[in-house]
Structures are given as structure tokens and as C-alpha cells.
Amino acid sequence: MDIRRPDDYELEKIMLLSPQALFDGTLGEVRPTIEKIKSLIEPLLEKGSYYLIAIEEGKLLGWILIGASREQFTDKMNGFIYELFVLEEFRGKGISKRLLRTAVDELRQNGYSEVRLSAYAGNQAIKLYEKMGFTIRTVSMSLPL
């Protein structure tokens, strides 16, 4: 398995699959359109964020979207993981772990001293994040009305 930046064809495939990634990541709460995905992703890519993909024998297995984010209170720039997704048929093979490890290494090499991410409560990926050393920093709560 290789982990690298995608070419234009692979990037287009990611965009087509991203609605499913967001649906899965939000535990079925959000069912975005391709247009919504593009409105969220394109500004990140324009500001320097980028994807790393896991690929084997020409097959896209999964991806991670990394970049930077400004801390709202201190204005400190941190590395940020915006999205991590592995296609369902390839889950359970350590691909997420490899993508995450590679992303953290790249963000470190890019000069960030901290990496952050957000995840929906109940998302199975939280277990992986904790195993990789991430800790809960803030908690977002809601009250349905």
C-alpha cells in the first residue's frame, strides 16, 4: 500500500465519494450534496490543505485531508485533520492508522507543534484517535428544541 497525494483523477473520485464519508462521519446526521462538499472542501484546498490517499494496485482505499487551523482564542496555528475515511470494504486492515500516522508526521515536518481534529460523539474513529495519543480538548454539546 502506498500513501501519497492524489492526482486529478483520484481527487475527483474523492469528491464523488465525500458525501458518503461525511454521512458516515456524522453517524448519518448529515447527507450532503456534491455541491455542499465542494463548498466545504475547495476553500480548504485553496488555502493549502491537501489530501493523502491510501492506494493499492490502482485502487483507492481511503484518504485523509490535512491542513492548518487557527486557534480561536490564541490565534496559534495548528495542524488539523479535516477528514479521515476508508472505504467500507477495506476497513479493519489498519489503513486509517497508517493514514493518520503519515498525516501527523507530515504536519510535524510542516512545523506544527500540535495536531487537532473534530469528531462526532460515538464515531468509531475516536478509539483510533485515542490510541494514537489524541486527547479530548473541548466538548461541544447540544440541546434539541
Domain boundaries in the chain?
2-131
Question: Beta strands 77-86 and 115-117: pairing type?
Answer: parallel
pLDDT, averaged per 10 consecutive residues of the chain (145 residues), comes to: 96 92 77 87 95 96 96 92 95 96 97 93 89 90 87
Residue 141, all three cell numbers: 454539546
pLDDT the model gives residue 130:
94
Q: Which residue has the cell 485531508?
A: 65
Helix 8-25 to helix 34-46 angle (10° resolution) is: 120
pLDDT the model gives residue 27:
65
Question: Beta strands 59-70 and 2-4: pairing type?
Answer: unpaired
Residue 2, all three cell numbers: 502506498
Alpha helical stretches, state H, 1-141: 8-25, 34-46, 95-109, 125-131
Give the domain 2-131 fold: Aminopeptidase (3.40.630)
